[in-house]
Amino acid sequence: MVDVSQHELVPEHSVLDKAAIEDVLDEYDIDRTDLPKIKRTDPALPDDAEVGDVIKIVRDSRTTDQAIVYRMVVD
Amino acid sequence: MTNPSALGLDADVEAVVEDTDLPPRLKDRVYETLAERDELTIEQADDVAQAVESQYRDTRVDPLDPVGTVSAQSIGEPGTQLTMNTFHYAGVAEIDVTQGLPRLIELVDARKTPDTPTMTVHLEEEYATEREKAHEVVWKIEATKILALGDVSTNVADMRVVISLNEDTLDERMITAEEVAEIIEDQLGVTTVQNGTTVEFGPEEPSYRDLLQLVEELREITFKGIEDISRVVIRREEMDDSPFDADEEFVLYTEGSAFGDALAIEGVDASRTTCNNIHEIYRNLGVEAAREIIIEETKNTLVEQGLDNINVRHLMLVADIMTNEGTIESIGRHGIAGNKESVLARAAYEVTVNHLLNASIHGEIDSIDGVIENVIVGRPVKLGTGDVDLRMGSTSGDTTAD
């Protein structure tokens, strides 16, 4: 199977640990469910991601060097 | 998060930076920049922090700014200049690609298949630099039908279909007459007689109708390549950012797309190959890649029509909202506009009566929070100054407002 993460359209995905999730939610003052979503079946998802996890995505941004966004894994 | 003291910055500098309104990531950048300076005074640190903060405030979207409405107008107004009819251009080696307004509509509607699906196939080093090798990949992708390999004739007297294959074409496309015969047996369930480059077969019972039927079916068989790809055009292109520093590379453009299948083919560079079907990208590369391709495709469609002055942020917002739920949703009544909470907002968009009827049958309640609902009922919308409540203070005259 093709390694999806190597494709230039796919930014880096990583699972965020518990403490970091709290920091992020505090920073934006939102609940976890307010985050954008990513499906559990998404081909770019890291293997160890489970439903409810928060994924940190580091994109090459068009408006700045890098943009960091977060998505919550949903069914 | 960066620890300022670990970078050799003292507590005063930290206090100055922490005092600003900057988000944590920008603060980190300020710390890093300050740490690189020698003999930094507290005044200089303050100046830097203040300058960064004022720049940040200037570039920030104001609170309660209706970014969605601004984006809609910013794309909509120049959009009136797009060509109305499907316009095919010969720019990329005679491959037809839908342009202009129809393409833009197709993208925001998130159609399952675009009108003119196409892939841009980049190749791995040894294939991209040699024409022969590049052609090998072409034959693996382009669907080869029987008429491309030779002539088909029917012998009505003996009730036989006779195929005389062209030897050069067979060699070129790397398929043998034996393989052709085998594929025909598999697909049509007939017994073939193969003799050199001639393949013969016929219906079990002599029947003129069955014979013609067989010929029809024979024409449909894909002997080699990917069924959905009817044509491949090979082009030599100058490359600025080639991963293996080649000045020129062969790039393949296809008519029809099968992104997943194409990525798995040997010689295809699976890190740069793309297609114009956002759903295929979504299925194979995930929602983030889908977001990227929506931005790229909408931007290219607009730039192609000379509308290169639309800020990419508007297109990014469209792509963000389309991919917000982890899948691709269309803008419009089947997607984002149709999933709105408010009955009035949905009814204001399309098929008004259906929405109102269903809402009344199910006894839906509208809390009138959104913009559209408030416009309908004639109240100030909750945007900009409309969402800010001011209350007259009732303190005695000598206390000043803080």
| Bridge partner residues of B250 (DSSP) | B236
Which pLDDT does position B305 carry in this prediction? 86
- Residues in A closer than 8 angstroms to B271, CB to CB, are 6-8
Query: Which residue is listed with tokens 């794309």?
Result: B75
* Low-confidence stretches of chain B (pLDDT beneath 50): 90
Nearest residue in B to A26, CA atom:
B24
- CB B36 within 8 Å of CB B45: no
Look at residue B122 and tell me if it is in a domain: no
Which pLDDT does position B283 carry in this prediction? 93
Look at residue B45 and tell me if it is in a domain: yes
Which pLDDT does position B286 carry in this prediction? 93
Spatial neighbors of B56 by CB under 8 A, at least 6 apart, are B21, B22, B26
The CA distance from A48 to the nearest CA of chain B, in Å, is 16
Confidence (pTM)? 0.83
Average pLDDT over residues A30-41: 93
The CA distance from B316 to the nearest CA of chain A, in Å, is 9
| Helix residue ranges, H only, B247-342 | 259-264, 278-285, 287-304, 312-322
Contacts 24+ apart (CB under 8 A), B199-207: B199/B162, B199/B163, B199/B165, B200/B160, B200/B161, B200/B162, B200/B163, B201/B160, B201/B161, B202/B158, B202/B159, B202/B160, B202/B161, B203/B159, B206/B159, B207/B159
Nearest residue in B to A44, CA atom:
B286
**Which of A8, A59, A71 is the closest to B271 by Cβ?**
A8
CATH of the domain at B153: 3.30.1360.140
Which pLDDT does position A1 carry in this prediction? 61
Look at residue B293 and tell me if it is in a domain: yes
How far, in Å, are B139, B165, B169, B199 from residue B152 at the CA level? 21, 9, 15, 10
CATH of the domain at B358: 1.10.150.390
CATH of the domain at A29: 3.90.940.20
Joined together, the tokens standing for residue B250 give 């062969």
Which pLDDT does position B273 carry in this prediction? 92
Contact A27 B23 (CB under 8 A): yes
**Which of A4, A27, A38 is the closest to B285 by Cβ?**
A4
**Which of B24, B270, B316 is the closest to A27 by Cβ?**
B24
Structural domain range at position B314: 64-88+97-112+277-324
Structural domains in chain A (count)? 1
Structural domains in chain B (count)? 4
- CB B237 within 8 Å of CB B251: yes
Contact A45 B286 (CB under 8 A): yes
Structural domain range at position A35: 4-74
Look at residue B291 and tell me if it is in a domain: yes
My answer on whether B163 and B209 are in the same domain is: yes
Cα B108 from Cα B110, distance rounded (Å): 5
Nearest residue in B to A42, CA atom:
B286
| Bridge partner residues of B232 (DSSP) | B254
Look at residue B49 and tell me if it is in a domain: yes
The CA distance from B324 to the nearest CA of chain A, in Å, is 5
The CA distance from B325 to the nearest CA of chain A, in Å, is 5
Does the ipTM exceed 0.90? yes
* CB count in 10 Å sphere of residue B218: 20
pLDDT digits 0-9 by tens, B354-396: 999 999 999 999 999 888 899 999 988 888 888 888 888 887 7
Look at residue B213 and tell me if it is in a domain: yes
pLDDT digits 0-9 by tens, B275-315: 999 999 999 999 999 999 999 999 998 998 888 889 999 99
Look at residue B258 and tell me if it is in a domain: no
Torsion on CA atoms B121, B124, B130, B134, rounded to nearest 10: -40
- CB B254 within 8 Å of CB B119: yes
How far, in Å, are B107, B138, B191, B252 from residue B122 at the CA level? 23, 11, 40, 7
Residue B8: CA count within 13 A, CB half-sphere: 9
- Residues in A closer than 8 angstroms to B324, CB to CB, are 36-37
Nearest residue in B to A1, CA atom:
B264
Which pLDDT does position B85 carry in this prediction? 64
